[in-house]
Chain A
């Protein structure tokens, strides 16, 4: 009935530190994104905002979703989903951004 089954907790659990560090980094990146949005940078506001979002998503995928020590087949599956999404957005923009007036 004891919540702690293991007499030596540190022996079985991976360190929690990377999770806390990732959380603080994510909050800092959110603050950076929010702050940069108020600077008059023209189209670069969007570039910075989306760039920071990609960095944040990568942190979540790699550290919190454990892709850093996932099996190769899991990594391939994860990357394929986002790769195809990127391909579709890229080809769609290749159409819309090159339409005459």
Chain B
């Protein structure tokens, strides 16, 4: 165990537990602000849906439910692999921790790849307002609003997932270099919490953007 004043213990903390608790509380405060940040997008979506219920139902039946469902399952699986990485990290098992982190990043990148392919599909179908929009229906204004929300919400989520993949990659490298141990693994814990939050955002995006207007 490293002594007091080691690189992993900042001077303002009495001990490791103190530092670990502050870091975990800190990420939860950050996640609360993130919930409110995404909340404004969900609020905008809700107002659009209240004002244009028919158009939102009709428009959401044009999103790709197969790709959306595969991506949801992929992301739910990364929540498992990230949890297993955190568990291995907390136990001080270096190699399993790196493996699960790498699996999480690969699945996360697969999600982003599929999402990119889906955007390409949307582009050819003319479903991207401001970029390539060619939609005809009874309420084009309402449908435009839906596809605008679809584009912004999925894009902001993709940015968050990209950040999560980047951070997890750094964590894999640091873990492989032996930076963490059973005594000190707070960065792994914090990374996992952020990753799970990004998954929670998608858990709500999936039914709102892909499952409307199917019945």
Contacts and interface: CB of A to CB of B under 8 A. Distances in A.
Interface of A: 2-6, 9, 12-14, 16, 19-20, 22-23, 26-27, 30, 33-34, 37-41, 45-46, 49-50, 52-53, 56-57, 60-61, 64-65, 70-71, 73-74, 77-78, 80-82, 84-85, 88-89, 92-93, 96-97
B186 to A, nearest CB: 13
B17 to A, nearest CB: 11
Contact of A89 (B42, B92, B200): B42
Interface residues of B, number: 55
Given A12-B90, A56-B203, A97-B50, 18 more contacts: A2-B94, A3-B93, A16-B87, A19-B80, A19-B83, A19-B87, A22-B83, A23-B76, A30-B76, A33-B206, A37-B214, A50-B208, A57-B203, A61-B196, A64-B83, A84-B32, A85-B35, A93-B50
Contact of A49 (B36, B47, B211): B211
A13 B88 contact: yes
B33 interface: yes
B116 to A, nearest CB: 22
Contacts of B197: 65
Interface string B25-54: 100110111011001001100110011000
A40 B215 contact: yes
Interface string B109-142: 0000000000000000000000000000000000
Contact of B87 (A4, A13, A39, A56): A13
By secondary structure, the A interface counts as: helix
By secondary structure, the B interface counts as: helix
A33 B73 CA distance: 12
Report which residue of A40, A52, A65, A84 has the largest number of chain B beta carbons within 10 angstroms of its beta carbon.
A65
A44 to B, nearest CB: 10
A40 B215 CA distance: 5
Contact of A14 (B43, B73, B87): B87
A57 B76 CA distance: 11
Contacts of A45: 211-212, 214-215
Interface string B4-42: 000000000000000001001100110111011001001
12 contacts: A3-B96, A16-B84, A20-B80, A37-B211, A37-B212, A40-B215, A60-B199, A77-B29, A80-B32, A89-B42, A92-B46, A93-B46
Given A23-B76, A88-B39, A73 B25 contact: yes
Contact of A6 (B25, B50, B93): B93
B135 to A, nearest CB: 22
The 6 A-B pairs at the shortest CB distance, nearest first, are namely: A3-B95, A81-B32, A49-B207, A13-B91, A37-B211, A23-B80
Nearest to B76: A26
Contacts of A85: 35-36, 39, 42
